Amino acid sequence: MSPTVRVDAISTLVSNLVDQLAQRLEADAAPERLVVGLVGAPGSGKSTIASELRTRLKEADLFAGLVTMDGFHLSDAVLNEWDRHDRKGAPDTFDIDGYLAILDRVRTDGTKQVLVPVYRRDLHEPVAAGGVVSGPGIVITEGNYLALETRGWGAVRERIDLLIHIDIPEEVLMTRLISRHEKFGKNPLDAGHWVRTVDLPNARLIATSVHRCDEVWREPEDEHDSDDELD
């Protein structure tokens, strides 16, 4: 079955989602925790949307925690040892088994606290036990490869109750990503090269798995802002 496509302002889509999730949690036989995934290309706005969703869920007393795929980046030391640092962010530069194990833990017992890693962009490294999932409610997870079927990622989808693909035009992604790489220290030439050789191939790979999602979110064309949603 094809995913449901929703076109509206992100704030409206998030508000409607919170209402939908509240109803699901109240249903008979609902689990203590539901895992909601946000997936999309680098620069599609996943982190920004996750932050807004977290705020709205907290206001509704429904938020249990955040598990980011980026928290499972391999360290630079491991990437260098395995000769993968020049394509950091590709599917084989993450600890997939660790990610699956954390998703299993947060789903097993809604009363159990689970410490989770986070990714520090200022350090360009993952940091262990940087976040916590606690209590019943909604667990948000976000990342590039949540719907991917290959390279060991297929089992992630099985652990997500509602998966939403954030769809952004490629030309908008390019502008956002070049800006992001420059912000974190790359010169314009290197930023453009990285986007063309790493980020865009990854984005096109991610697009092949949209059919595995439950929903696709798109903003109206006039609401894209290349300076804001950078992840």
Helical spans, DSSP H, in 88-160: 96-108, 154-157
DSSP 231: -
Nearest to 98 by CA among 80, 71, 123: 71
Mean pLDDT by 10 residues, the chain (231 residues): 94 98 92 96 94 98 97 96 92 96 94 95 91 97 96 94 96 92 89 90 94 96 56 68
| Residue type (1 letter), 157 | R
184: CB partners within 8 A, 6+ apart: 121, 124
pLDDT at res. 228: 45
DSSP 73: B
* Cβ atoms within 10 Å of 54's Cβ, excluding its own: 16
Cβ 48 vs Cβ 227: under 8 Å: no
pLDDT at res. 227: 43
- The topology (CATH level 3) of 4-170+210-219 is Rossmann fold (3.40.50)
pTM above 0.95, yes or no: no
| Residue type (1 letter), 212 | R
Cβ 71 vs Cβ 130: under 8 Å: yes
Residue spans per domain, the chain: 4-170+210-219
Distances (CA, A) of 88 to 54, 91, 212: 27, 9, 25
pLDDT at res. 180: 87
